[in-house]
Structure 1
């Protein structure tokens, strides 16, 4: 089921239909309508039954009949379609009180009638009746609704006559060519249509009876396609941005798989309707035949001939719009899928896929052949993963669908949609698709090397905040990198081939080459693990945080000529509030106070200005506050949402209304400008006040455009995915930065600073001011105490010595080493400019 915070066209249509039923039932009940005359839930008429004449006379009964006792809050009652007219007649016949129909009801029923009529008209024109006596040709439900409107018309306001934009004629025009309900955003926003509310004293929830005739199935399918088309367009937008260098792989993959997951949830609400009509693929085929007939004037035989290779007509684009191409291919693979063996593809069996060729000039048959080759080569790899490598680190919606297919032998429509997404991505990337693998393996290998460097550096370094269990976790993560880079699918296929006496696989990483989504999710997996461990290590030693305090102090004192680019990137990405309590300190007194608060040291102790003898000075490590140190936390809030899924293989993201709103409003970035090609340029908002203003503006806009998510308004899945992609892309540098390496650089700097300043610090604070290397960050606090003259004679010598160490590091180019490394391994080109 689609999360409550999101909305689809089908859901919104159902809300309108339920609103009609709810107002009729609750209003009639308030007027004394006997509840026992409502069709019981467990004895609803079948979909092909017509209303009995007796039922039409129910509303003639005059006088009030006491309603049954109030039901408990939350009870649900299904209002049978057969009851709509009797309820309307009873409401009309009631004189005390005289019921005036609200404008919201009039507009809602007009809209439902318009939508239903447009579908029914086209179905009738194309001869899609399922039986000679089908209710379809009588527009059964439309007739019921029109009769209800006719009965209640005298009680309606004259100003609620259908507008030109809502008239059946206009709606039919909008459905021309079965371009499914183009104004669906009107359904989602509905700025001028307020749905009618049931009586406030009625605690029962009313819903309209589910209709399951073919007309209802084809209409539901068409509405579902409208939602899916918007999600599909968003996926294409994501990968076009990736192809053109405006997005990175992990962001594109997570946003895409989120879109596919939302699409699957959306479909789950609709798919049961298709069961009595052969399933979603059968309904898909019928819709395809209808559109082919309308656009091309072709007969059923001609369209069937195209399926078998006839070239007289070209229906590829229509089959693409209805997802029939992907459905046919997956269906054909499913028919030959053996439960014992992994499918084997012989190279060139169907031809050779040439990604360098121009797809735009190909015929429909040539395009279909190309799709067939891509999927036929990819399908065996996906089955091998599903069957042979259960502990693969990530799973996308296509692999999930393949696993379900393997278990049920049924092709699900979510798998069809995921298959189409795979094809679309290949159509967009073309020859760039296989370049994804080299970029992935290069970055994952670099992460492994980073961990190796950590082990070597920390051979003799221990911290009470980094227990052996954490070190073991890091070792396991390193082992998983080694396992992954050897290609576990390739290894498993080799073992299987030896047992089955079939040819060994010839190419490593073949699976990832055919699935940029899976490759991107794997990249996210290892980035997320490194991000989490890098932040944890930095917090355990305090290396980055307290070196940042030292760097800020020497900058404020104008003791540096150049920027430490690596540190500036981290300060900019994570924000000043991560490192400093309040604003950045600007003088010696603030350096010490803010350091003390960040370190968790009692500021009242260290800021006593009366000098003391060295042997009587309290050590910083002995006066910690109960609150403890303030660590780096809350970094990359949007990107971190997916750690449970793609790092720990846990559950799905819970898309609550508040959660969706946070995805948008918590992003600390804004659209700075929009290029003509649609490229969005993001700029980070560093000013807290400006950020607050941006969020307030977002909230106001949200209230006007979608009634504010937290107050019940909802987003379409496509809109959420767009916001997610932009937010993750804006966080990509923050999420990918090598914090573990920066920790080592910072720790090395602190070591050198301690060595250079040791004589001065010993003179002022005694020989035991530090007892072991794990206390090294406290050297920054002692330097600040000297510079401020807290408990000691004021002396800035140590601060100047520390500045010389940082300046020397910057001078030899080490200050931007990590930024350069990121550009080589991850492709992040960072242009860092100092503000004037």
Structure 2
């Protein structure tokens, strides 16, 4: 089941109608009109399932009694309100019109099939609700109502379309984060006196014992399900189109898609549990029912046009696609082929050859269906192999899991049909992309492989640190092994060869890496997992060595010295990611004394620690052990929500929580607090035009306001928010901590080589026991700098216009300046080469702004700078490196 704070179309519709009815009843009572025959409805809320999540800090009060009120009674109430001096808020009318809009869509679908009572039932609701709105707006409802009806007594506005302004307003907000119209505000005193109302259909339209009435409303519930699935499908298709156009990265598109499929499963289960037993509950029967009823409505035959290779009628192709019947029929046709102890083979070219360069928009319906059939028939044997050999990819995705479960159960479902259609949409949306998902995964693997190889080379140049646990190196080896097993080699190809030898049957040649080249979501989640694991182990490495953080202090100390200029874009990016508060405990230090005080605190050797009882047992100089130092933490808040599910290298064997049970609400609370701080002074009523502009420019800010006010949002809103935030976090997730560690070690070694004699002079020969403790040079340099400043002050060399600068600090600045001229932006260049979101990388340095680089050309240029010639050749040819 979907969590209470997520609303699908049906929940939104019930909330709108009941909210509107509640407002109307209570305002009418204030105007002196007492509603007749209010029927108590104990224990139910707008959705009939108990009270939804309460607002934060909302005062507790007794739940008010709820009553039922008919639509006809609401019309009388509206007339009483319209005759009074009460001005109807636009938000109230917006709520009612949104319910009308959805109901119109349903009516346009149902008119023509079923009983006349069903048609009359839906048309009556729309007619009365529109009359109520017009009455509240001051229009002549009777005139408009008589003009709307045709000779059959059916509301002609159902087929004529919706109000243009309302539709434009709703459409603009559909894929953003503002499906909720402004909630109707209430004071605490008013809430205690308010009568809660649930709107119901009129009994004079259908008798209380009429089963058709119940089925009609259940059809409406089913329609809302397919309505939501279609909206989600369109959103996901657009997301993959943006990926193909290089506007969104692969990880973002895959995470959003995988979690949308989780939400779809929860929604389908909820709807199936709500509809009556007369409706089909299992398999693809619900899809067949929708298809058959639509054929009946249009007067078209439901039999498939098999002569065209279709499993449905060509005239009903749009409905078949809308209810995913085509995909379901392909899955159903594969069931007889699945046999125990056998692995089906697909003969390449049997149904044709998939041409990714073909223009799908110019294809006919049979050609599109055949193309989908080719893709599925190629993939289904791959999943049978996975099930037979119990192959587990390092990360679990919903599409692969659904396919494997289908192989076991041999029962296609509505959810699986939706998931497969989403997978096909992703393939079609990216077919013309210059770099596909499989190529992006290989690029990520090459980048990580080079990073790990450089790390092993660096590790051989210094003794093994006692403070770096062996588990750290083991995790790095596991990451490298994962790349070798699933990216550099095709695990399924080996299984095909093994099965051919074991079962002694013919085998047909098939493309290598077929699974990863077709399942874009799996590629994206594997990319996400590799980056998550590299971020985790990279931050642990930098925390244990504490070299990058200490060098940030030295970099800042040089910057604060008079006459010294130093540019290190990578360090500035590192500080930007983790914040000055985390690195420096506040703003950047202004002098050597302040800097060393902060440095001793973050490294765990503050004056408080020096006075500890066991201080005498310590060595003279600090040795990093990774225990007392200020640790780095991931700052990717949205990525952290999915860390538990996707980071584990054996996630396929565990049942991790879905997005529905993840800590989404905590993240939304933080988002609402941020948006509130930004708009603390704005207390005026929201303007529709301004809110639309805000939704287009900063949807997360508007959603933060909504969440704080209502603690409710739509599933599409949540997906859109996750998509936007994940895209922003991409450069942070890909930041190369290993490279920063390497650069820090190399800089410190150059400083040691140049200033070794001075370190010996000041701190004796034992100033650094071995090279693994080289980061402590920064503390020693700070001691020297602080001593120089103190000596200058004693000699009277300082005044308001002069500054005493340590010679050693100036020497370190010269070393760093020469080194950083070549390697100061290596990490930034790597990010510009691999990231889709380059806006985050625009960091202004002290020498001027950041020059914008062309995104299209930067990808190729950047690869040559971060990959070796052998790796580039492997990428070009597809041949793994020896």
Q: Same fold (TM over 0.5)?
A: yes
Q: How does 1:185-264 map to 2 (within 5 A)?
A: 188-191=179-182, 200=192, 213-264=214-265
State the aligned residue count. 741
Inter-CA distance 495–164: structure 2 relative to 1 (3 Å threshold)? farther
TM-score between both structures, scaled by the size of structure 2:
0.70
CA distance in 1, matches of 2:136, 2:41: 28
Q: 2:81 aligns to what?
A: none
- Aligned-pair distance for 1:625? 14
1:422 counterpart = 2:411: no
Inter-CA distance 655–404: structure 2 relative to 1 (3 Å threshold)? farther
1:580 counterpart = 2:584: yes
CA distance in 1, matches of 2:671, 2:144: 34
CA distance in 1, matches of 2:37, 2:834: 73
Inter-CA distance 751–164: structure 2 relative to 1 (3 Å threshold)? farther
Q: How does 1:464-479 map to 2 (within 5 A)?
A: 464-479=466-481
Inter-CA distance 303–108: structure 2 relative to 1 (3 Å threshold)? farther
Q: 1:537 aligns to what?
A: 541
CA distance in 1, matches of 2:471, 2:700: 48
Which SS does the other structure have where 1:746 is aligned?
A: helix
- For residues 69-122 of structure 1, give each alpha carbon's deviation from its aligned partner in whole angstroms, at most 9, with x where no partner exists: xxx99999999xxx8779989x99xxxxxxxx9999997997799579747754
Match of 1:807 among 794, 812, 817: 817
- Aligned-pair distance for 1:532? 0.6
Q: 2:494 aligns to what?
A: 491
Counterpart contact for 1:437–1:512, Cα < 8 Å:
yes
CA distance in 1, matches of 2:142, 2:378: 54
Q: 1:652 aligns to what?
A: 658
CA distance in 2, matches of 1:202, 1:335: 60
CA distance in 2, matches of 1:15, 1:34: 19
CA distance in 1, matches of 2:403, 2:312: 32
CA distance in 2, matches of 1:326, 1:490: 26
Q: 1:678 aligns to what?
A: none
Counterpart contact for 1:437–1:513, Cα < 8 Å:
yes
- Aligned-pair distance for 1:534? 0.6
RMSD of aligned Cα (Å): 5.2
Counterpart contact for 1:600–1:626, Cα < 8 Å:
no
- Aligned-pair distance for 1:426? 1.6
Q: How does 1:239-318 map to 2 (within 5 A)?
A: 239-273=240-274, 276-279=278-281, 281-288=284-291, 299-300=300-301, 309=310, 315-318=316-319
Q: 2:857 aligns to what?
A: none
Counterpart contact for 2:18–2:199, Cα < 8 Å:
yes
CA distance in 2, matches of 1:506, 1:117: 50
Counterpart contact for 2:21–2:197, Cα < 8 Å:
no
Identify unmatched segments of 5+ residues in structure 1.
42-71, 93-100, 607-614, 671-693
1:547 counterpart = 2:536: no
CA distance in 2, matches of 1:468, 1:102: 72
Q: 1:566 aligns to what?
A: 570
- Aligned-pair distance for 1:743? 1.0
Identify unmatched segments of 5+ residues in structure 2.
45-59, 78-85, 149-154, 202-210, 611-615, 679-693, 793-804, 850-882
CA distance in 1, matches of 2:323, 2:169: 15
- Aligned-pair distance for 1:586? 3.5
Counterpart contact for 1:12–1:188, Cα < 8 Å:
no
CA distance in 2, matches of 1:490, 1:658: 44
- Aligned-pair distance for 1:351? 0.7
Match of 2:112 among 118, 122, 126: 126
Match of 1:787 among 785, 788, 791: 785
CA distance in 2, matches of 1:831, 1:626: 32
Which SS does the other structure have where 2:526 is aligned?
A: helix
TM-score between both structures, scaled by the size of structure 1:
0.74
CA distance in 1, matches of 2:143, 2:479: 63
Counterpart contact for 1:544–1:742, Cα < 8 Å:
yes
Inter-CA distance 820–34: structure 2 relative to 1 (3 Å threshold)? closer
Inter-CA distance 207–281: structure 2 relative to 1 (3 Å threshold)? farther
Q: 1:511 aligns to what?
A: 515
Counterpart contact for 1:448–1:478, Cα < 8 Å:
yes
CA distance in 1, matches of 2:580, 2:501: 58
Counterpart contact for 1:378–1:511, Cα < 8 Å:
yes
Inter-CA distance 259–373: structure 2 relative to 1 (3 Å threshold)? same
CA distance in 2, matches of 1:583, 1:740: 26
Match of 1:738 among 733, 736, 739: 736
1:502 counterpart = 2:509: no
